[in-house]
Amino acid sequence: MNGITLKILLITLSLLLPPASGKPAFAGNELLDAAVPAVINAPAGGTFTFPVKITIPEKSYIYANPKGPGIGKATSLDFKLPVGFRLVKVDYPAGEKYTPAGFDDHVIIWKKNALVNVTIYVQPDLKPGRYPLPLNINMLQCTDVCIPFDRDYIITLDVSELSGAAISIDSAVNGGPSTGTHKSAITKLPAEFSQLTPVCIDKKITGIIQAILLGIIAGFILNLMPCVLPVVSLKVMALIQHRESGDLQSQRNHGLLFSAGIISSFLLLASLAAFSGYKWGGLFQQTYFVAGMAVFVFAMALSLFGVFTINIPGFAGRAASRPGRGYSDSFIKGVLATLLATPCSGPFLGGVLAWAFIQPAFVIFLIFASVGAGMAMPYVLLAAVPALARFVPRPGTWMSTLEVIMGFLLVFTSVYLISFLGHDNAVSTLVLMVFVSMGLWQYGKYGNITASPLSRRISSALLALLIITGFAVSFIFITPGESEPEKTGFNIEQLMSNRDSGKITVLSFTADWCPNCKLVEKTALNTRRVKTILADENVRFMVADITRKNPAAEELMSRLGSNSIPFLAVFPAGKGFVKPFCLRDIYSAGDVVTAVEAAKLNNR
């Protein structure tokens, strides 16, 4: 009998031997051993990790997990978990390749002490107390021959009260409320989510030059977004007026200041992104910011309707047509255009920002500046080459009509912003608008430049008083009623349950303040083609709503390499779960189908 046949026979016999009782005997009393904790503190509603240390004698080895293509038996840790516990991960360490003499295929082995980390999740509603955790460790200790090691352990799990990190959220699917009682769910992602390696079906960013070029293109496209168009139209109209006045220098100055407002805003957003973890559109998660923007845009509309005229900050921009005046108007409009652009994510922008957010701070600044430069490009060109303005229709009475039309568009923009706020905050914002409207009306009547200095001062003071009073009445003295439970379909436990039960999860990240999210919902997710594939019994559709702060959803989105929405992730089941397929920006129904089909192929 040759050596190879003997070794195969010994390994086969070792696999058939009954479990050893006590420590297995070995030549020279060199014993393989494993050490496990006796008692572990296990907080309800969270995860805990503990080590299993395997001591390997010199001149011996054991098979790693996985063991490689050669003959042998992988080391395994098998648990019989009590009700209320779920195994998250057994983190076997990497081994080294080894090809036994006379064999063609290699195996993966551990030759030194091996440390296996085990992570377990505890359900939040589990009663405090002590629970036994049976553990079986099975492995082979090999030199010239292999001896089996099969031993049972009992670990005591000491479950404590629900931790403060847990919160109660709705476990509804597709944004609807659940029925019955609410259950607590963790806000921190389990440790296994650190293994996510998403496969995004979009254009890959291969370097800083490509990122800058795509950033410029994405910024240019932002000018066409519905959020920005009313403000951009007003600026173009102002440039036309300056051209007709014959003051080319003033036209250049206003165009450059509008561009400076855009780029300054992008540099500010870059600071927030680099040092404060800002995500694109994150400002619109702040109630006061959204309410302030809604009131500000509504005030611009009132100016276009002729309710009042003001030069600084230049709501209407009428006074800006006079030489040397209204420069602050142009800069502020540039800032406003950028802020209104942040709920939007046009083509290329999502991929560019996702790449930028994992780079050093100076690269984040460079990429944000390139997006700002792209958005400012048309106005820089108009300032540098005034002759380009001849392609715009000449001013006339039509401009007065267009101003009113732009005013109505701004009213629609204001209503759109209010829709982000929810019922109570929306009512408060509308009340504030009434106070601001009264203040601006009296200012237009008694505070204009034809009034006496005393009248203007009194009118300005009354305007400030009405705005402050309106804010106090709206957001301080009016007590909001009981708010409805937040409607979100995203739930970490459900996502992991889908994985374990063989279900593909299609997870859509969206927000009420994201117009492109509404676009993809209508043109992609709500199409018959996608509805059919989502109706498959092995596919589950979930919605992560980040209209307001949603720490777990936002952390998962960051783990998936994205910092802007719309964003869609398709998680395969089983082992393929850690390689989800993702779609950024404006995606189509075909893209969704492609991602789900790819997940089915990887659904093992």
Residue 463 CA to residue 447 CA, distance in Å, equals 9
Q: What angle do CA 502, 568, 419 make, to 5 degrees?
A: 125
AA letter at 297:
V
pLDDT at position 531, please? Answer: 84
pLDDT of residue 179: 33
What is the maximum span of the chain, computed from C-alpha positions, in angstroms? 116
Mean pLDDT value of segment 277-298 = 73
More confident residue, 327 or 186: 327
Model pTM?
0.46
Integer angstrom CA distances of residue 421 from 199, 277, 367: 34, 23, 31
- Helix (H, G, I), strand (E, B), or coil: what is residue 510? strand
Listed in sequence order, the residues at least 6 apart from 292 whose beta carbon sits closer than 8 Å to its beta carbon are none
Report the pLDDT averaged over residues 368-393: 77
Candidates 3.90.180.10, 3.30.70.20, 3.40.30.10, 1.20.1290.10; correct CATH number of 492-601? 3.40.30.10
Q: d(Cα 448, Cα 457) in Å, to the nearest integer?
A: 10
Q: What is the DSSP letter of 522?
A: I
Average pLDDT of the chain? 75
Q: Tell the residue number behind the tokens 């969270």, with chain if given.
A: 46
Which pLDDT does position 571 carry in this prediction? 92
Sheet holding 146-160, edge to edge: 39-43, 146-160, 129-142, 76-79
Long-range contact pairs involving 455-464 (C-beta distance under 8 Å, separation at least 24): 463/439, 464/439
Q: At a CB cut-off of 8 Å and minimum separation 6, what does 62 contact?
A: 32, 54, 56, 75, 109, 110, 114, 139, 140, 141, 142, 149
- Give 37-56 as a 3 state SS string: CCEEEEECCCEEEEEEEEEC
Domain boundaries, the chain: 3-162, 208-285+309-396, 492-601
Give the rounded percent of residues in the chain with a pLDDT score beyond 70. 72
What band does 171 get if pLDDT is binned at 50, 70 and 90?
Answer: very low
**CATH C-level class of 3-162:** mainly beta
Residue whose tokens read 């005046």: 325
